[in-house]
Amino acid sequence: MAVGGDSSVIRRSTLRQQIADALRDEVLAGRLPSGHPFTVKEIAEQYGVSATPVREALLDLCAQGLLDVEQHRGFKVHAFTADDFRAMVEARTLIIEGIFRSRAEQALSRTPTEVLISIRRRADEAERAARAGDLDVLIGYDLRFWRELGSIVGNPYISDFLDRVRVQTWMFAVPLLRRVDDLKGHLWHGHGELVEAVIRHDLAEAQRLVAEYNAHSLTLVGEP
């Protein structure tokens, strides 16, 4: 009986996560724009599931800062401001710099070769999508790249927080980038250089690349 109960919990939790992941992808793609309202009932009908896992998934996304609860009305996609974006860029920089420091160097020496190969592969895929101007493909690979790079320190709180901030920055950036007719040459593509600098323990070069990335990001909000 205990086994059956655990299995039910796992299935429910998986459905909850699947719904949250699907909605997050919709938000990141811009198909659910900032301020867009919806109810648990609408999402449950859309995915053909019961209300309980939908409500749980929506509350999870609220906890991640992606949705807002509207009292007695439902939910809406959170609207980030330019000031929010600047603060998020600063926050992700502090996290990344922490990953590059001495503890990360020690962690790198213990990182299995296959993990480093995977990080390089993500970097190559993200860079290829960025150079092609393929925003949808880039977002997926970029998030995976930073998630894997952040995981080398072995601290899930660091990697999870970095992933959350990066999702939020993409939420703000996507509508602005969609206004550009051709994104070739407009997207940062230094993933490969950055991972090689980290593997070489070249902190100065890694910091230079991150600073370049930040300067590029801030042009989205009209800063030089």
pLDDT digits (tens, 9 = 90+) for 166-184: 999 999 999 999 989 899 9
Q: Which residue has the higher pLDDT, 6 or 54?
A: 54
CB of 100 closer than 8 Å to CB of 67: no
Report d(CA 40, CA 113) in Å as an integer: 44
What the chain holds in terms of domains, given with CATH numbers, is: 2-77 (1.10.10.10), 82-221 (1.20.120.530)
- Reply yes or no on whether the pLDDT at 143 is more than 70: yes
pLDDT of the residue at 202: 84
pLDDT of the residue at 102: 58
- Reply yes or no on whether the pLDDT at 3 is more than 60: no
- Reply yes or no on whether the pLDDT at 158 is more than 90: no
Q: What is the CA radius of gyration of the chain?
A: 19
pTM for this model (two decimals): 0.86
Mention every residue, 6+ apart, whose C-beta is less than 8 A from residue 135: 174, 177, 178, 183, 187
Q: How many C-beta neighbours within 10 Å does residue 54 have? A: 25
Q: How wide is the angle at C-alpha 144 spanned by C-alphas 151 and 90, nearest 5°? A: 75
Q: What is the pLDDT of residues 53-112, one digit of tens each?
A: 999 999 999 999 999 998 878 999 999 999 999 999 999 998 888 777 756 666 666 778
